[in-house]
Chains A and B, each alone.
Chain A
Amino acid sequence: MAIKLPIYFDNHATTPVDPRVLEAMTPYFTEKFGNAASRNHEFGWVAEEAVENARAQIAKLIGATPKEIVFTSGATESTNLAIKGVAEMYREKGNHIITQVTEHKATLDTCKRLEKYGYEVTYLPVEKDGRINLDQLRKAITPKTILISIMYANNEIGTVQPVAEIGKIAKEKGVFFHVDGVQAVGKIPVDVQKDGIDLMSISAHKIYGPKGVGALYVRRKNPRVQLSAQIDGGGHERGMRSGTLNVTGIIGLGKACEIAGQEMVAESAKLFKMRERLRESIMSRLDETFINGSMEHRLPHNINISFAYVEGESLLMGINDIAVSSGSACTSATLEPSYVLKALGVGEDLAHTSIRFGLGRFNTDEEVDYVANRVVETVSRLRELSPLYEMAKEGVDVSKMKWQVAAE
């Protein structure tokens, strides 16, 4: 099979819409364009029925009931609503929130804003493998703690957190548990009952649905979670999130969840094999490559590798027919290397050399082989250009050298 270039291996950033999802959405742009809130005519009923169908599809995938699903514009909004909504609603009970350092910015920056309003936030560190320490979590909980927010799986290193254990601790202590489920839902089994999750953010565009639509799971019993709305208006979504529903997007999210539920087992096994093929092919041919994050507790379609002595952006430039991303400072607007890798204790020198590969539904073995070859070729070429590789080969310990860096 001929390979079509460029190759997309950046499926943690976003995924293409599955043609089956698009097909389900299409009629609702034109002939079935009604507003789901129009209660008094056929157009509205048709739209509402489709929305309710999507709600059920999403609920089924995560072991929830349809009434527990609130539609939003995406996981960033879901996370804002979950954290700020709980913080505001339960202010009397306490002002303490626990999260951890490798969360997505949607969580971290929401917590930072709450700190400005007088809330206290504990940012738990992570172990070398990217997972939090449960004892530290237990110790961090105080009588003032109202919420724990920990992601299911990390978007850079694919590390899967011990969610069910965290859920148990949260329940024991009577604290709500919010999960950023963006990278895990539809990829690995997620069950809000078994995992003891009270709130969970979901995004359509990471699971072969459209961009700009997501959902928040909000538990209705044992315990019932109440939220202060963050967007006021017509009282849609039982008052939790006003605004005319994005009917087509919601149908897309629902369909994407339905497909994921049917195909997850086979798909994750296939992607795991491809990921291992990629990893072995690259790492068996290059020395001084390092995996970032746990191999044991990892999304099957993720691998994150540091290629010592080769700066990430220059590597991306060399493999410009392949879409991946890097933790290098040179690729970021802030000129800071990845805070996720830093939190794992990966040295800054190695953080600059990291590449994230995210496999997806539409990738093939042929693509894996092509990518592996291009990476090996390019890393080898760039190492010939690298003064650090030369020094390492001469036996100089690069990490112990004194570098002259100008004061700014």
Chain B
Amino acid sequence: MAYSEKVIEHYNNPRNVGSLDKADPNVGTGLVGAPECGDVMKLQMKVNPTTRVIEEAKFKTFGCGSAIASSSLATEWVKGKTVEEALAIKNTDIVRELALPPVKIHCSVLAEDAIKAALGDWKKKQGEPEAAKTVEAASAH
């Protein structure tokens, strides 16, 4: 299968690879997918508790090139956004931006799930009720 230029570009120069301190109360961690399914995504965000702005985002992904690109793009997009704005990101936005073919849609779903899981974790740490949906956030395949 041919990859879009944007997928290749993110794959070759992934943004924000790395990890943040899981123990930091301002860091939310989302780990979604499963090794048996061939994809695991870890997304971490550091959120300013007063402004609710995402100041830092890091990812690591085990998965295909489209999954790597989706998570790289997700970290780029969430940075500077508020928690609520970040939660509004839809996998379809990622599909459009990266021009993912239908078989790769689940890779973008994983990225959306990872954002929701990470912010759910952050809310829990902050003592906020998580939206019920975000607790369940997980991979689709």
Contacts and interface: CB of A to CB of B under 8 A. Distances in A.
Interface of A: 309-314, 317-318, 328-330, 333, 335, 337, 347-349, 352, 384-390, 398-399, 403-406, 408
B77 interface: no
A329 B63 CA distance: 10
B136 A349 contact: no
Contact of A311 (B3, B14, B63, B137): B63
Given A313-B64, A317-B3, A406-B136, A387 B37 contact: no
A385 B40 contact: no
Q: Which of A352, A387, A389, A404 has the most CB of B within 10 A?
A: A387
A403 B33 contact: yes
A335 B36 CA distance: 11
Given A385-B17, A405-B138, A317 B11 contact: yes
Contacts of A317: 3, 8, 11, 64-65
Given A335-B103, A406-B138, A387 B38 contact: no
Contact of B62 (A388, A405, A406): A388
Contacts of B37: 329, 348, 405
Contacts, number: 95
Contacts of B35: 348-349, 352, 388, 398-399, 403
B34 to A, nearest CB: 4
B33 A405 contact: yes
Given A385-B60, A390-B60, A311 B140 contact: no
B100 to A, nearest CB: 12
B38 A386 contact: no
Q: Which 4 A-B pairs have the closest CB atoms?
A: A403-B34, A349-B35, A387-B42, A352-B38
- The SS class assigned to the B binding surface is mixed
Given A314-B63, A399-B35, A408-B141, 19 more contacts: A317-B3, A317-B65, A328-B64, A329-B37, A333-B103, A348-B38, A352-B38, A384-B17, A385-B14, A385-B17, A386-B62, A387-B61, A388-B35, A388-B40, A403-B33, A403-B36, A404-B34, A405-B33, A406-B139
A15 B36 CA distance: 32
B16 to A, nearest CB: 11
Nearest to B68: A314
Contacts of B62: 309-311, 385-389
Interface of B: 3, 8, 11, 14, 17, 19, 31-42, 60-65, 67-68, 103, 113, 136-141
14 contacts: A311-B63, A314-B65, A318-B11, A330-B67, A386-B60, A387-B60, A387-B62, A388-B40, A398-B35, A403-B36, A404-B136, A404-B138, A405-B33, A406-B137
Given A335-B103, A385-B14, A329 B38 contact: yes
Contacts of B60: 385-387, 390
A406 B61 contact: no
Contacts of B63: 311, 314, 330
Q: Which of B63, B103, B140, B141 has the most CB of A within 10 A?
A: B63
A406 B140 contact: yes
B66 to A, nearest CB: 8
Q: Which of B36, B39, B62, B65 has the most CB of A within 10 A?
A: B62
B109 to A, nearest CB: 9
Contact of B139 (A310, A318, A387, A405): A405
Contacts of A312: 38
